[in-house]
């Protein structure tokens, strides 16, 4: 498995995870990011995933190569010191140019599987957003999660009335585009930081909103 590396030092690697690849094997097995760990280090005390990305989300994924750096990264995530920035192309778009979504979330399950839902009694979830560009029927957003709830950005955008394009769980049916969500940038500290380029599958929609490939 050949996953591009965006940043590397003796303690951390930031991978450019492709869309559609799980970070670790699920109950049914299948390929995952962890399959490449043997290429990153042959030591017994690593590598370790420092956080998670949805299988459908591409972009910056932090991997700790040793146990001590893992604890450092976990503390930084828990204390909100890690800066994470996402790009999304959404249907419609917000009326304003920036804002904050504060909507608690909880998990629900039925015969078809599980998903997250807005729930006043759920876990607090906060997302800052900013419009970077627009087309006639879509908007290109910068999303900065201040909490790390599962599917947070996807549910928040959908609940706000502008679902992320290609979202099979929370978006409108009938538009099989692939999830238009990119983990654009990650900054653990002044040294460990990386930026991921948009995957080809979302570039056309980004260009409609004003993004330039250069």
Q: Taking residues 101-116, what's their average pLDDT?
A: 91
Q: How many domains, the chain?
A: 1
167 lies in some domain: yes
Q: What pLDDT shows up at residue 131?
A: 98
Element (DSSP H or E) covering residue 110: strand 105-110
Dihedral (Cα; 25, 62, 3, 133), 10-degree rounding: 110
- Catalytic positions: 54
Structure tokens at 156: 């928040």
In a domain, 214, yes or no: no
pTM: 0.93
Domain that holds residue 108: 5-208
Q: Which long-range contacts (CB under 8 A, 24 or more apart) does 47-53 make?
A: 47/13, 49/23, 49/24, 50/12, 50/74, 50/77, 51/77, 51/82, 51/148, 52/23, 53/17, 53/23, 53/183
Q: Determine the average pLDDT of the residues in 9-37.
A: 91
Which residue is it, tokens 């450019």? 16
Q: Which of 102, 136, 104, 6 is nearest to 59 (CA)?
A: 6
Q: Report pLDDT digits (tens) over 116-168.
A: 999 999 999 999 999 999 999 999 999 999 999 999 999 999 999 999 999 98
Distance CA 209, CA 92 (A): 11
CATH number at residue 144: 3.30.2350.10
Average pLDDT over all residues of the chain: 93
Give a yes or no: residue 213 inside a domain.
Answer: no
CA 49, CA 35: separation in Å to the nearest integer? 12
């Amino acid at each position: 498995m050949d996953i591009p590396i965006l940043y590397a030092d003796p303690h951390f690697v930031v991978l450019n995870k492709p869309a559609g690849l799980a970070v670790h094997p699920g109950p049914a097995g299948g390929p995952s990011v962890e399959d490449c760990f043997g290429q990153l280090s042959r030591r017994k005390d690593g590598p370790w995933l420092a956080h998670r990305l949805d299988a459908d989300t591409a972009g910056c994924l932090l991997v700790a190569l040793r146990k001590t750096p893992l604890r450092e990264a976990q503390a930084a995530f828990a204390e909100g010191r890690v800066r994470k920035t996402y790009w999304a192309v959404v249907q419609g778009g917000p009326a304003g140019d920036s804002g904050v979504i504060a909507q608690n979330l909880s998990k629900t399950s039925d015969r078809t599987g599980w998903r997250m839902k807005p729930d006043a009694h759920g876990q607090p979830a906060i997302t800052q957003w900013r419009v970077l560009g627009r087309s006639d029927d879509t908007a290109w957003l910068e999303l900065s999660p201040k909490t790390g709830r599962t599917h947070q950005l996807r549910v928040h955008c959908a609940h706000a009335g502008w679902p992320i394009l290609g979202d099979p769980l929370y978006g409108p049916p009938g538009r099989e585009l692939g999830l238009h969500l990119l983990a654009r940038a990650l900054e653990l500290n002044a040294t460990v930081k990386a930026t991921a380029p948009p995957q080809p599958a979302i570039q056309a929609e980004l260009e409609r909103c004003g993004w330039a490939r250069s």
